[in-house]
Structure 1
Amino acid sequence: CYNIEPVAGEENQYICYVAYPLDLFEEGSVTNMFTSIVGNVFGFKALRALRLEDLRIPKAYTKTFQGPPHGIQVERDKLNKYGRPLLGCTIKPKLGLSAKNYGRAVYEVLRGGLDFTKDDENVNSQPFMRWRDRFLFCAEALYKAQAETGEIKGHYLNATAGTSEEMIKRAVCARELGVP
C-alpha cells in the first residue's frame, strides 16, 4: 500500500492505493493477474469489509496479451461486408423459447437486414432448448436467410458447456454445420 486516504464523511473508512511489481504476474495471463489481486486482497482476513473500486493495468503488461485470434477485418471478409458498420444483435428473449422459435427469431432478423446474430451467454443447453436442436435450427435459419437475401449472414453459437470435452464436442458440431 503506497497511499491511504480517509473517506470523506465516513468514520473508520479509507481508500488504499496498492501497487504490485509486474514480475509477480505471468505475462499474458489475465487469470493469473485477477486471481493474484482479487484472491490475495479479498483473502486478507484483517479487513472486515473491502471493495475494489478501480484497477489500472500498466501498458507494459497489457502489451503481453495476444488479443483475439482475429479482428474486424476477418469478420468483414467472412461476411463480405465493407464500407459500412456491421449490424448484429443478440437474440431476445434469451431464455424461454423453444429451439424452433429461437431459430425463427434468428431467421427473422437476418432476413430483415442484420448481418449477424449471436447467442446470449446464458443460452446453453436448457431443458426447453437443448444445444443440438438450437444449433440445427439456427443453421437452418442462417442458410434460409442467405438464400433469400443473396447475402452472407452469420450466427455466433454459444458452445460453452460444463466440461471442456462437451464444449469441444459442441464447437466441432458448429463447425460441421458451417456456423461459427
Structure 2
Amino acid sequence: MIPSDTSKTLHSWKRISLVEESVTLPNGKNIQHTTIVHPGATVILPITQDGHIILINQFRPSLKKWLLELPAGTIENAEEIEECARRELEEETGYSAKQMISLGQVTPLAGFCDEIQYLFVAKDLDKTCRYECDDDEVIEVITLTIEELEQKIIRGEVSDAKTIACLSKAKLCGYL
C-alpha cells in the first residue's frame, strides 16, 4: 500500500504498519478503512529427493501454541522475492535448494491486510546447517510424507492456512 494524503500511520512494528485512510469504494461511498501494511512474504514447500516434505514446528506467541507449517518469512528491504524464499528456507530448516519453482501468490487476509504471500516449491535440496532462527522464533524441523501431512490436515493437526494453500497449489500444478 502506498500512503496517500489521507492516510495516517497508527502504529509500526518491524516492517509492518497499521494505517488508517479514507477510501472511496466502487459504489462511490467514502469510508475510513484501517489496513495492516505488510511487505509480503514467501512460503516454501521443500521436497526431499525421496518425496518427503520438510516442515517446521514453530511456537507462535500470538496463539500461544505450536503450529506445524511450511517454512516462510517476510520479505526484507529491497530483497527479491525468490531471494527471500531461499534465505528463509535455509534459516528455518538448514537446507538450500538448487531448484526454486514459483507457484504464484495468495492473499491471506484481504479484509484488513495487504500482505501477499508468494508460494514456492523447493527441490534438489542440500543440507547446509546454516540454521539461524530469529530471536523471536522457536523452531523444530520435521520431515513427513505427503500422505502423513495430508492426514494431519484432515485431522486438524495442521491448521496453518499458508501451508494448506501452498500444498494444494503444488498438487494442482502437478508437483506432488
Question: With structure 1 as the length reference, what TM-score do the two structures score?
Answer: 0.26
Question: With structure 2 as the length reference, what TM-score do the two structures score?
Answer: 0.26
- Which of structures 1 and 2 has the larger relative contact order (alpha carbons within 8 angstroms, sep 6+)? 2
Greater per-residue strand proportion? 2
